[in-house]
Structure 1
């Protein structure tokens, strides 16, 4: 584990000298020091870091919730649902069509719809932090789209599981979906009406007790969420949503920073461990086509979000590039597909597709000004356009 931290730090420092983002460098460290490449092998089994990697994802999404206030959900709910629904319709629809065009099978096409359709919440969070755009006007719509995606994912996984397992019971699928939706509704009600009570529980002066309290709450609710069939990430996000609106919210944001950064690095390193570069050439062309398709759909989705929120071209470009990366949820689907005995080409395809976009996404987000210059979106006003572009 010490070697993993040091390798990630060394590569990130070298990459920082030439302006590369940290995320793909953390992933590269995992590839180079994993079991699938020659030379030093720090970890022969990627599952050895599974719990720490999960903790990294939980902390990344917990921090995302801290930055996204309950009032944002209440006041912008309709726009958020419209922008998120548009994003999903474009990307999931394109993924499903692409899956059928490959001819690998119906179950495989359903898996590919989820892989191409869902952004990486972890990478999106890290990109927003690294680019300093948390205060930008377009960031709230980006976070709103992530929330809509996570809710969709919880229901999608619940519906997909019986299909992949070969179950023919519609009632079982409905029960799983209902259980997940019910728990999501419970979390939403707690975030909406329980903030005052939660604030009193976390009103402690001692930083040590506060860290133990919010860390325990985030991890515990994430675990319970997973038990109910909801992604652990959304449970952690909802805890952050509640705590961010309390009197202790600013202190929690400060205290969680080093935890988020350290375990977030382990998450991306562990992701790299799971990639076998030797499998990638066999699915090179499908991966490149899928990446190009995702680029086009994200540009269209960014234009749609700009239309819904009245943003100019630079904000539309920021939305398009920030949401580009795919990651942890695609890997969950790859694991499900492997367990169900689906086409053997799915796993290397998903690994290659996610790797390319995990590298391309942060790099594109850091250079979104190039896309903003050619984005066919009309600025609402000179003043608003200046305000939107100020944080780039």
Structure 2
């Protein structure tokens, strides 16, 4: 654990000197020090980091919930659903079509629909923090799309599990889906009507007690969510959503910050441990084709979301690039596919695809202005902004 923290810190500090984002560097540290590359092996079994990785994901999504207030959800629910539904329709639909075009099989195509269709909540959260855009107007629709994706994810996994396991029982699939949906509804009702009670339970002036309380609540609810067939991250997100609307919300946001950064780094490090670079050449062309398809779909989805919210080219480019990365959910699907005995090419394909976008996503988000210039009206807006800055400088 100590070596993992130090390796991630050293690489991130070195990369910061040349302007590289931290996410791909944390992943690179895991690849270099994992069991799949020659040289020194710090962690021989990626499962040794599993609990730290899970805690990192929980804290990243808990922090996301703290930033996404209930008032935002109530005020923009319809537009959020429309933007999120558009994003899913474009990306999941393209992933399903791509899966059938590869000809690896129907079950494989259903897996690829999820791999290509769902953004990485962890990477999206980290990108928003690293780029300083949490206060931007387009951040609310970005977070809204992530929420819609997480709800879809719960239902998608419940439907996919009996297909991958070869179950013929429609009743079992409906039962799993109903259980997941009922739990999501219960969480939503608690977030909507239980904030005042939750606020009283967490009302303490002692920072130590507050940290223990919110950390316990986030991790516990993540575990309960997983038991109900819902992604553990969405349970942590809902706890953050409730606590963010209480009087203790600003203090919790400040206290969780260092925990989020430390364990979030371990999530990306553990992600790197699972990647075997030697398998990537066998699926190079499908990976590149999938990346190109995802780029196009994200641009279209970004333009669509910006249209729904009345944003210009700059926010549209930010939405397109911030949601580009794929991550933890794709790796869950890779594990499920391997257990189900699906096509052996799926695992290296998913690893390569996720790795490319995990690196490309943060880099693209940091340079989204380039994309904004090619959007309709983008060049004129950029020139107007430059003239305004020049006038301010002369003045």
Q: Is TM (by shorter chain) over 0.5? A: yes
Q: What is the match of residue 80 of structure 1?
A: 80
Q: What is the match of residue 40 of structure 1?
A: 40
Hey, what's the Cα distance between the residues in 1 that align with 2:294 and 2:282?
A: 20
Q: What is the match of residue 293 of structure 1?
A: 293
Hey, what's the Cα distance between the residues in 1 that align with 2:365 and 2:267?
A: 20
8 Å CA contact retained: 2:69, 2:245: yes
Matches within 5 A, 1:1-392: 1-376=1-376
8 Å CA contact retained: 1:306, 1:377: no
Hey, what's the Cα distance between the residues in 2 that align with 1:101 and 1:284?
A: 16
8 Å CA contact retained: 1:243, 1:249: yes
8 Å CA contact retained: 1:314, 1:372: yes
Measured on the aligned residues, the alpha-carbon RMSD in Å equals 1.5
Shift of 1:22: 0.1
Unaligned runs of at least 5 residues, structure 1 = none
> CA offsets per residue over residues 332-367 of structure 1, 9 Å max, x none?
000000000000000000000000000000000000
For normalisation by structure 2, the TM-score amounts to 0.96
> CA offsets per residue over residues 157-184 of structure 1, 9 Å max, x none?
0000000000000010000000000000
8 Å CA contact retained: 1:95, 1:117: yes
8 Å CA contact retained: 1:96, 1:113: yes
Hey, what's the Cα distance between the residues in 2 that align with 1:343 and 1:61?
A: 32
Q: Aligned pair in 2 of structure 1 residues 378, 276: CA closer, same or farther (>3 Å)?
A: closer
Shift of 1:377: 5.8
Shift of 1:150: 0.4
Shift of 1:215: 0.1
Hey, what's the Cα distance between the residues in 1 that align with 2:176 and 2:151?
A: 14
Unaligned runs of at least 5 residues, structure 2 = 390-395
4+ long deviations beyond 4 Å: none
Shift of 1:375: 1.3
8 Å CA contact retained: 1:316, 1:377: no
Hey, what's the Cα distance between the residues in 2 that align with 1:18 and 1:286?
A: 31
> CA offsets per residue over residues 39-59 of structure 1, 9 Å max, x none?
110110000010110000000
For normalisation by structure 1, the TM-score amounts to 0.97
8 Å CA contact retained: 1:225, 1:231: yes
8 Å CA contact retained: 1:303, 1:377: no
